[in-house]
Structure formats: C-alpha cells, structure tokens
Amino acid sequence: MEWSEEAILLSARRHGEAGAVATLFARGKGVHAGMVPGGASRAMRGVLQPGNLVLATWRARLSEQLGSFHLDPLRDVAGALLSDAARLSALSSACALVEAALPEREAHPALWDATRALLDALPSESWATVYVHWELALLRELGFGLDLSACAATGVTEELCWVSPKSGRAVSRQAGEPWRTKLLPLPAFLLAGGEGRAEDLLAGLALTGYFLDRHVMAAHGLSLPAARSRLVDRLRP
Amino acid sequence: MAGPEIERMIQLLAKLPGLGPRSARRAALFLVKRRDSLLDPLSRALADAAATVKTCSVCGNYDSTDPCAICADPKRDASQICVVEDVSGLWAMERTGLFRGRYHVLGGVLSALDGIGPEDLNIPALLARARDGQVSEVILATGATVDGQTTAHYIADRLKDCPVSVSGLAHGVPVGGELDYLDDGTIGAALRARRPV
C-alpha cells in the first residue's frame, strides 16, 4: 500500500528514541496517522510542527496498519507565526479541532481546501475573519452547518441578527426580539462578507464555539482546545 | 546465560536513553570486567546521587543542595531569570558560560496533545519570583516550536502585571550555518529578526 499527497501536519508525538507518530490531514485521505522514522531527529523536528505543509508518502503492507510516512517539507507555516501569539493560537486551534473532530481516514476535500486557505490567510490582516469562516466550514463538513439563509420563524431574509441555539438557523431581529436572551448573536460580517471588527469576531467565535462544543467536542467527551480559548482571549479588546 | 544480578543490571541499563538490550549487555560486560576502575565507583556515584540529588525549591534545577548552587551563588545576577523548559535547557545555557543570571525550570511546555496545561507547569513560582522586587528581566528560552512558543506567549501574558521586562531568545542562522542548508522557517525567522550591521 502506498500513497503520496500534499498534507497539513496536525500533530506529532515522539515514539521511542528516534521516531515519531505524526497525524496529517491530506485532501484525498483525510486525517491519517503514521510512523515517521527519524522523526525525533534535529532535522525533522522543525518539519513536524503543527500547521506545516508537507508532501507525505505513506507506505504499509496492509491498509489497516499504522504504516510509515516519508515527509518532505513544502512550506513552513508554523515557523512564520511563532512570534505572533494570536495567529499561533489560531493555527494550533485549527489543527487541534481537525484532529479531534474528523474521523480517521475519511476524505474531506472541501474542509482541506478551507484549511489550506486558512493557512494562506494567517499571515494576512484578515486572518481572524477567515478563521471564523473556517469554523463555520468545519461545522458544515461535520453535518452541523448553520442555516443563515433565512429567518427560521418568518422566512424573511433581511435583518437576520440571531441564531437559534436549538436549530442552528438564523432568526430575524423582529421575530427574535422576545427571546433575545436565549438566542446567539449573529455578527453581520458572516452574512454581508468583509472583515469583522473585534466584537464581531468574538461574537462569531462564540457562535461557532457553542455549536462545536455541543455537537462535536461533547460527543467525543472533549472540550474545546485550550488554544481556541487562548485565541478568544487574544481577540478580546 | 548470566546470573540474575547481571540480568537485572542488563534490564536496567537497557532502559537508559540510547541503549537497547544488545548495547546494555555490552555495557554490563564492560562494567563487570572493570570492577575496580568503573563498576564500584559507578555504583557508589549512583548511590550518592540517589541519596542526595533533589529538586531546587527555588528554580526547579537538580542539585545535591536546596537551593541549588546557582540559586545560592551570590555572584549570579539575581535581576535576570532565564526560563527554560527543563533541566537539559539549563545545562545547555550554562555550557555557553554567557548567562550569569538565574534560572527557572518550567518542567515542560503547554501541550494539548499530551494534556499539559498551565497548572502542570512550574508557573506560579515564576510569577512569585517575578513579583518579589529583585527581578528586572525575565528571558523566555523555550524551544522554537509551536508548543514552546505558545508557552512563552502564555507566560509573557501572565507576567504583564509584574514589574519586569520580558524578552525571548532570538531565532535565526546558527553559528557555522550556511543558508543553503537551512530550512525555510529558520531563514524566515532570521530575515524577520534582521538587525543593522
């Protein structure tokens, strides 16, 4: 068995004295773990950082075996963000969420494309906006996508400013007013596009965080990654 | 093949880093053959270390005294604390002979994968030291990895309320390094941290 594909490194754990077990996210293979012989070496330590892009070649005698990876570095994403605490938290959070939420060896090409786009956007100014959209894409990929197209109660498509925590559907200002304390705020940038301001980004993360926690992490007996909490703290004014 | 004492010695030696069962057998044979010059002194040294080495209550270093020799040395600059992940980092800094301040050993780094959170690290003691009025600079010397730098950012945040300046080690081209052989991340870090010459 052998395949070779561009992949995003999600995590690496030292195995024995010289090796490591790496978990990657490949477009056509999904989340996939494998042994990296020599993964604890000085040369490989820089490559095996979460978020880095690699060309992965996986080999095993049988498909159900752990197998081994040969990794060629393609882009050092993590290294460029080490000095930026907020961006580093976003990168760590995205990697941790993908690893925790996606089943192993199941292709999710749409989410891979979104994650690749997130990695490209992280050095830019609009990285936080892209990150919130990425979490929406993660929810969509897992089957818990939010329906922000029309009001769940009245069907109107204007002045949508809440999301029902029960159904994940948008609610208009008028229809949601009596239940405003129970509804989740829907930041305008998620519908209108453009960049979100700090408070909108926090509202966006609170929205996606609620559904990720309820539908994805709790189902696995986990809580949201610590890196995500640190990201939220960083974005607080 | 060998008596139970030698087998036990081989089993224990095989647990050391860099040694497997085969090399442990070689080491055991080597030791047994040199009983007077190596085996006896080594066993005494190990017994002495086991009896006396403890963790420094101030910085987390290993030494036979508490506080350790570095913390107790009045010639060391008490206004600077270098924060390292573990004792091997402290030894690496000491090998350079360039740093004359004191240390603080965290005992690891934040790691979601290994379930290591701030409560598992020796951070409260660092904050207490940073607030005691003697310290003016904290140098964060954690590794240039995602976990290492996440830990550094976390500590820098926690130190914001303390009356100290916080700095981190520079990342870049190592001594003897040629650009052609360096990875993209190191070259990028070096370029971002460029300085006037």
A165 touches chain B (CB under 8 A): no
Q: At what angle do helices B146-158 and A85-101 cross, to 10 degrees?
A: 130
Q: Is residue B149 located within the same domain as residue B90?
A: yes
Q: Are the C-beta atoms of residues A99 and A75 closer than 8 Å to each other?
A: no
| CA gyration radius, chain B | 21
What ipTM was estimated for this complex? 0.86
Residue B194 belongs to a domain: no
Q: Is A195 left (phi over 0), alpha (psi -120 to 50) or beta?
A: beta
Q: Is residue B85 located within the same domain as residue B35?
A: no
Residue B64 belongs to a domain: no
Q: Is residue B155 located within the same domain as residue B101?
A: yes
Give the Cα separation of B49 and B56 in Å (integer): 14
Residue B9 belongs to a domain: yes
What is the residue-averaged pLDDT of chain A? 94
Q: Is residue B43 located within the same domain as residue B87?
A: no
Of A228, A30, A32, A7, residue with least CA distance to A116: A7
Residue B60 belongs to a domain: no
Phi, psi at residue A181, to the nearest 5°? -75, -20
Tell me the pLDDT band of B1, cut-offs 50, 70 and 90.
low
Q: And the tokens for A211?
A: 């559904």
Helices (H), A69-176: 77-81, 85-101, 109-121, 127-141, 173-176
Reduce the DSSP state of residue A150 to 3 states and report it: coil
Q: Minimal Cα–Cα distance from A71 to chain B, Å?
A: 14
Q: Are the C-beta atoms of residues A105 and A31 closer than 8 Å to each other?
A: yes
Q: What would the pLDDT profile of A149-182 be if each residue is shown by its tens digit?
A: 999 989 999 899 999 999 999 999 999 999 889 9
Q: Is residue B146 located within the same domain as residue B100?
A: yes
* A177 to A157, A171, A185, A217, B22: CA distances (angstroms): 16, 9, 11, 30, 75
- Residues in A closer than 8 angstroms to B171, CB to CB, are 82
Number of domains in chain B: 2
Check residue B111 and give its pLDDT: 87
What is the residue-averaged pLDDT of chain B? 93
Report which of residues A71 and B184 the model is more confident about. Answer: A71
Tell me the pLDDT band of A12, cut-offs 50, 70 and 90.
very high
Check residue A233 and give its pLDDT: 92
Q: Are the C-beta atoms of residues A232 and A213 closer than 8 Å to each other?
A: no
A91:B146 CB<8 A: yes
CATH code at B100?
3.40.1360.10
Q: Residue A237: is its pLDDT beyond 90?
A: no
Q: Is residue B83 located within the same domain as residue B37?
A: no
Amino acid at B67: P
Residue B28 belongs to a domain: yes
Q: Is residue B29 located within the same domain as residue B85?
A: no
Tell me the pLDDT band of A43, cut-offs 50, 70 and 90.
confident
Q: What would the pLDDT profile of A50-84 be if each residue is shown by its tens digit?
A: 999 999 999 999 999 999 999 999 998 998 899 89
| CA gyration radius, chain A | 19
Q: Model's pTM, two decimal places?
A: 0.88
Q: What would the pLDDT profile of B60-110 be if each residue is shown by its tens digit?
A: 999 999 999 999 999 999 999 999 999 999 999 999 999 999 999 999 999
Check residue A42 and give its pLDDT: 82
Residue B20: domain span: 4-52
Residue B145 belongs to a domain: yes
Tell me the mean pLDDT in the region B147-163: 94
B18:A49 CB<8 A: no
Amino acid at A137: A
Residue B193 belongs to a domain: no
Residues 40-79 of A with CB under 8 A from B: 45-47, 49-51, 73, 75-76, 78-79
Tell me the mean pLDDT in the region B43-47: 97
Helices (H), B73-172: 87-96, 123-131, 146-158
Q: Is residue B38 located within the same domain as residue B97?
A: no
Q: Is residue B98 located within the same domain as residue B134?
A: yes
Q: What would the pLDDT profile of A139-148 be if each residue is shown by its tens digit?
A: 999 999 999 9
CA atoms within 13 A on the CB side of A140: 14
Residue B38 belongs to a domain: yes
Give the Cα separation of B70 and A147 in Å (integer): 61
Q: Minimal Cα–Cα distance from A80 to chain B, Å?
A: 6
Q: Is residue B45 located within the same domain as residue B103?
A: no
Q: Residue B115: is its pLDDT beyond 90?
A: no
How are beta strands A2-15 and A19-26 bridged, if at all? Answer: antiparallel
Residue whose structure tokens are 């971002």: B192
A73:B184 CB<8 A: yes
Of A145, A185, A188, residue with least CA distance to A167: A145
CATH code at B16?
1.10.8.420
Give the Cα separation of B141 and B37 in Å (integer): 40
Q: And the tokens for B185?
A: 């991340």
Of A129, A103, A140, A143, residue with least CA distance to A191: A129
Q: How far is CA A121 from the centre of its chain?
A: 13
Q: Residue A224: is its pLDDT beyond 70?
A: yes
Q: Is residue B30 located within the same domain as residue B92?
A: no
Q: Is residue B44 located within the same domain as residue B122?
A: no
